[in-house]
Amino acid sequence: KAGVTQTPRYLIKTRGQQVTLSCSPISGHRSVSWYQQTPGQGLQFLFEYFSETQRNKGNFPGRFSGRQFSNSRSEMNVSTLELGDSALYLCASSPRTSGSSDTQYFGPGTRLTVL
């Protein structure tokens, strides 16, 4: 199976702009989670989507939003970009079976730089 894919891989934006990142999960995986990774804060959970519904949300401002489509692909959007939003944004998919020990499979990430 193909792994998790994320597009674009690199992105440069300026403060105040908005950005949309895309994630295609592994075929058959229905849960998509997003994480932000920075040198200062490490890996932080943004949100999880399953069946087109947000299931969990991390402690991020409302400028960070996402959605999931019927084919499980997901997008996240960041509006009014700030310098501190520069980070590696990682998407992870899991099958979300009945158990709670789903392994999460991470994509290569989108490196966002805000100037």
C-alpha span between 86 and 105 (Å, rounded)? 23
Comparison of 18 and 34: residue with beta carbon closer to another protein: 34
C-alpha span between 11 and 27 (Å, rounded)? 26
C-alpha span between 34 and 67 (Å, rounded)? 11
Comparison of 18 and 97: residue with beta carbon closer to another protein: 97
Among 19, 23, 24, 48, which residue interacts with another protein (rule: CB under 8 A)? 48
Binding mask 6-35 for another protein (x = CB under 8 A): -------------------------x-x-x
109 binds another protein (CB under 8 A): yes
Give the CA distances from residue 5 to residues 58, 63, 86, in Å, rounded to whole numbers and listed in that order: 22, 23, 20
Comparison of 31 and 72: residue with beta carbon closer to another protein: 31
Angle at 4 between CA 28 and CA 90, to 5 degrees: 125
Comparison of 53 and 101: residue with beta carbon closer to another protein: 101
